[in-house]
Amino acid sequence: MPAVKNLGDGFFGSRDQGKCFPSLEELTFIDMPKWEEWSWADGRQMFPCLRKLQIVQCPWLKRTPPLPASLQLLSLCQVGLTEVPRLLEEIDGSSIDMTVSELKIYSLQVVELEDIPECEELPCLGQLPSLEVLRIERMPAMKKVGDGFFGSRDQGKCFPSLEELTFRDMPEWEEWSWADDRQLFACLQKLQIERCPRLKRLPPLPPPLETLEIDEVGLTELPGLWEGIHGGGNWITASLSTLRIRKCPNLRNLVEGLLSHSLPNIRDIEIAECAELVRLPVKEFKELTSLAKLSIRSCPKLLSMTRDGDNDILLPPSIKELVLSDCGNLGKLLPGCLHNLTSLTRLEIGDCRCIESLPTTSLLHLKRLKYLKIWKCGELRSKDELLLNEGNEQVEGSSVTELCIDDTALFKLSLLRRILPSVRVLTISNFPRATMSDEEEQLLRSLTALRWLEFKDCKNLRSLPTQLHAFPSLCLLTIIGCPEIQALPEKGLPTSLRKLRFGGCHAMLTERLEKHLAEMKSSGRFLALDQLAILEDKRSSSGNHLKNYLRGLYL
């Protein structure tokens, strides 16, 4: 209703009637760009049965009536409020001095406050007994969160039922203050704070917390657990299962705080793009017996202050996925910690210029390893043989079925020579040169089980492998973002090919691929996505991964 400017008595009805909308349970206002005023008489009971209130895209609305006690969900998005409506006011609006017992009438379970540019202060939400989900996003004027958010200091517990808390896109938020003797968020399970670059610290975390995600926050340290539930000190056992820390430029030390506590349930740790991070409790990682995923990326100063003799680490055998990329001296520790990772299925090593060798035999004995990715490891690429002393050991066939590299020069390495015959999916991305060498093309023919070959963002590559036609099992060929390749190989493409995907290619190559695709369709050799997935070996764990990946590309 783009023309509406005012809601008042005409909306509520005669003032002689005390109650308004006596049975209304859901109320939504959306896209009312001229709505400025919502007026009401203070002595009336409005919306006594209202459970859900949503106000979206009403940028000039400055205030709303007091909220009814029956409300369970409040969602305000893109509104012009200078303050959030009162939540601690009696139904008739006569008093805001409510006791805790009176607060129990409030059944509010979900509050969403988004895109309220003029609001500088959050309402008192901490004493709402039923609140389970709170999301606060895009509040650019908000600078401080303190007692007004938690409620009276006379009440020890704050947010007694809250399970999910999100703060997002609050660029001016600098201070989060609290009283040390209060129990905050006793039931909190998930905490997300994203794009709050000025925020320097968080309150102590509750032991029941299961997921913590910090992204683009100005933290100087990670908080520990508060001591109000299970005792004190570092012996508190946490419920944390997922920890993600990204783009925290002021963070230098993770040895203290949360990671100093016992974390028997932690399954997923991701630390990325923390440019100043120096210290990480890597020696304690072996105690994380439930850890399944560990990803450390773009932390170039990590362990830069430790001596080489202090760098021995042992990772828990529970790890299934390991990603190390541009992680300072931590990369040096990789060769020594792989041998016991008997559950490892996915390994990614990137931008680790300090890695000069990989333990070939140890990796080949990881019988569950399916996916291997190596990129920007210049010291590896420069070696013709990786570990000469391991070259003669007999090891049964490799389990690796998916390989992703940035240079076919890596085929010369002892490890990759041994796994090529088992690889079913090969991705070559960001290839640095114009052509492959004759030796590399010869090694490429060792990929006798190859089903899917992908060239991605190879800006310098000018030609495809000359023997591409000789791959007997190739079903899918993908060429994306390779503008210098102008033609197909002289002997063409393999007759086994069932699907082509291409984009961002030279006009001449695009024309040739379109013609080949049309020929495949007319001859009946072309298979749609679902048909191609059926061809995958259902007994192979890579089959599901390939099927899901294909769906992500085409659907």
Can you tell me whether residue 529 is helix, strand or coil? helix
Pairing of β 499-503 and β 242-246: unpaired
Cα–Cα separations (whole angstroms), residue 357 to 229, 327, 533: 47, 16, 36
What is the reported pTM?
0.82
Other residues' Cβ atoms within 10 Å of the Cβ of residue 300: 14
Which residues are bridge partners to 209 per DSSP? Answer: none
Interatomic CA distance for residues 87 and 102, integer angstroms: 12
Rounded distance between C-alpha atoms, residue 277 and residue 253, angstroms: 6
Task: Tell me the residue type at 315.
Answer: L
Closest CA to 291 of 254, 335, 344, 253: 344
Determine whether 453 is exposed, middle or buried from the number of CB atoms within 10 Å of its CB (0-12, 13-18, 19+): buried
> Which of 216, 223, 224 has its CA nearest to residue 198?
216
Asked: is 417-528 a CATH 3.30.410 domain? The reply is no
Main-chain phi, psi angles of 237, to 5 degrees:
-90, 125
Class of the CATH-defined domain 248-380: alpha beta
Q: State the pLDDT at residue 338.
A: 81
Give kind and range of the element (H or E) at residue 149.
helix 147-150
**How far from each other are the two terminal CA atoms of the chain, in whole angstroms?**
37
Q: What is the pLDDT of residue 40?
A: 77
Closest CA to 413 of 448, 451, 378, 368: 378
Nearest alpha carbon to residue 547 among 497, 476, 456: 476
Per-residue model confidence (pLDDT) at position 168: 96
**Do the beta carbons of residue 253 and residue 226 sit within 8 Å?**
no
The predicted structure's pLDDT at residue 548: 58
Half-sphere exposure of 144 (CA within 13 A, CB side): 5
In the chain, ranges of CATH 3.80.10 domains: 248-380, 417-528
- The one-letter code for the residue type at 434 is A
Angle at alpha carbon of residue 444, lines to 441 and 449, rounded to 5°: 155
Cβ(296)–Cβ(330) below 8 Å:
yes
Res 66: pLDDT:
79
Distances (CA, A) of 198 to 146, 215, 501: 16, 12, 45
Tens digits of residue pLDDT in 71-95: 888 888 888 887 776 654 433 333 3
C-alpha to C-alpha distance for 87 and 419, rounded to whole angstroms: 63
Task: Report the Cα 97 to chain-centroid distance in Å.
Answer: 43
For position 413, what pLDDT does the model report?
84
- Other CB atoms within 10 A of residue 534 CB: 10
Low-confidence stretches of the chain (pLDDT < 50) are: 88-105, 228-234, 309, 381-395, 530-543, 547, 551-555
Q: Dihedrals φ, ψ of 400, to 5°? A: -70, 125
The secondary structure of 133-201 as a DSSP string is: EEEEE--TT--EE-HHHH--TT-SEESTT--EEEEE--TT--EE---TTSEE-TT--EEEEEEETT---
Coil/strand/helix, residue 282? helix
